[in-house]
Amino acid sequence: MKFYLKLGFILLAFCVVATAILAYVNSVTKPRIDELKRVAAQEAMAKLIPNAEFSDVVIHLPEGASTPDSLVYYIATAKADSTKILGYILSAEKHGYSSNVKTMAAIDTEFKLINIKVIEQAETPGLGANCSSDSFAERFKGLLPEKLLVDKDGGEVKAMTGATITTRAVTNSIRETIAIIRKDIESRANTLPEVEA
């Protein structure tokens, strides 16, 4: 028994030492990792709408309508003039060919697409995976939500060769998300100046 206790103590000692080391490393790296994450999100948004500051808005969706019960989008205001709304940033997500495709999209106050950026995906390399490229984003620039359909579905988004499903996932996810936040933005349009005032 004593022998096993001794073994337990030795193992425990190793664990304690290891935990201590890890705690230290964590204390050093964690702030940096968090910072990196924040900066990355900021940078991504800044790339979509330059020279702007972002504030987040949470919409609570009616219960049972969809799995996440809330949705976040960002209002981009000009750095120089915080009352001037440049546009909105939203993130949309839908299952594509072999993975969930997560996209960030920027729309202007007319709900016209400024730019998009696919943030996360694991689609087929060489086909669907090309949705991360800038040339893919080009296909979306300047489109109104009504036209946001893959060409094969009757819209104006040109599908990537051999990757219609991925294109469709990105397109539809953005269109559907715009539809959700549109109401919120439209109701806000009247109230925002008052808030600022």
Partner 1 sequence: MGFFGQLFVMAVSAIFIQNFVLAKFLGLCPYLGVSKKLDSAFGMGMAVIFVMTVASAFTFLIDKYLLVANGLEYLRTLAFILTIAALVQFVEMVIQKNAPALYKSLGVYLPLITTNCAVLGVAILNVTPLPDGSTYNFLWATLNGFLSGVGFTFVLLAMAGIRERLELVDMPKSMRGFASGLILAGTMALAFYGFMGLKI
Partner 2 sequence: MKDKFIVSPAPHLHDRTSIPNVMWNVVIALLPALVFAVYYWGWRSLWLTLLGALSAVLTEALIQKLRKVPITISDGSAFLTGMLLSYNISANSPWWLPVLGAAFAIAVGKQVFGGLGNNPVNPALLGRAFLLASWPSLMTSGDTWIKTLSRPFSQASINGISNLDLIHQNLQTVAPKAYDLVTSATPLKVAQTLRDSSFVNTITSSDSLNSVISNNIFTSLFDLGTLQQLFWGNVGGCIGEVSVFALLLGAAYLLWKNIIEWRIPLFYIGTVFVLTFFLGGIKGTGYSLMLPFFHIFAGGLMLGAFFMATDYTTSPLTKKGRVIYAIGCGLMTVIIRLWGGYPEGVSYSILFMNVMTPLIDKITMPKAFGRIKK
Partner 3 sequence: MSFFKELTKGIIKENPTFVIVLGMCPTLATTTSVKNAIGMGIAATFVLICSNIMISLIKNITPDKIRIPVYVVVIAAFVSVVDMAMAAYLPDLHKSLGLFIPLIVVNCIILGRAEAFANKNNVLNSMADGIGMGLGFTLSLSVVATIRELLGNGTWLDMRILPQSYNPMLIAILAPGAFFTLGFLMAAINMLKEKR
Element (H, E) at 33: helix 2-48
Handedness of CA 39, 99, 184, 50 (dihedral sign): positive
Near partner 2 by CB under 8 A, which window of 1-9, 48-56, 107-115, 151-159? 151-159
Strand 52-60 to strand 70-78: parallel, antiparallel, or no bridges (unpaired)? antiparallel
- Residue 36 contacts partner 3 per CB under 8 A: yes
Cβ within 8 Å of residue 47, ≥6 positions away: 115, 117
**Contact call for residue 30 and partner 1 (CB under 8 A):** yes
Residue 153: name its binding partner from partner 2, partner 1, partner 3, none (Cβ under 5 to 8 Å by kind): partner 2
Residues forming a β-bridge with 93: 102
CA distance 184 to 104: 18
Near partner 2 in 105-124, by CB under 8 A: 124
Dist CA 45 CA 112 (whole Å): 16
From the list 63, 106, 127, 146, which residue makes contact with partner 3 (rule: CB under 8 A)?
A: 127
Listed in sequence order, the residues at least 6 apart from 88 whose beta carbon sits closer than 8 Å to its beta carbon are 73, 74, 75, 76, 106, 107, 109, 181, 185
Contact with partner 2 (CB under 8 A) among 74, 88, 97, 140: 97
Interface with partner 1 by CB under 8 A: which range of 52-60, 99-107, 144-152, 189-197? 99-107
* 123, two tokens: 């689609």
Told to check if 68 binds partner 1 by CB under 8 A, we report yes
Look-up of token digits 């839908």: 94
Asked if 98 interacts with partner 2 (CB under 8 A), we say yes
Binding partner selected for residue 152 from partner 1, partner 2, partner 3, none, CB under the kind-specific 5 to 8 Å limit: partner 2
User: Minimum Å distance from CB 98 to partner 1?
Assistant: 5
Does the protein bind partner 2 through residue 165 (CB under 8 A)?
A: yes
Beta carbon of residue 93, minimum distance to partner 1 (angstroms, whole number): 6
Q: How many residues can be counted in the chain?
A: 197
Segment 135 to 194, residues that bind partner 1, using CB under 8 A: 165
Binding site for partner 3 (CB under 8 A): 6-7, 10-11, 14-15, 18, 21-22, 25-26, 28-30, 32-33, 36, 40, 124-127
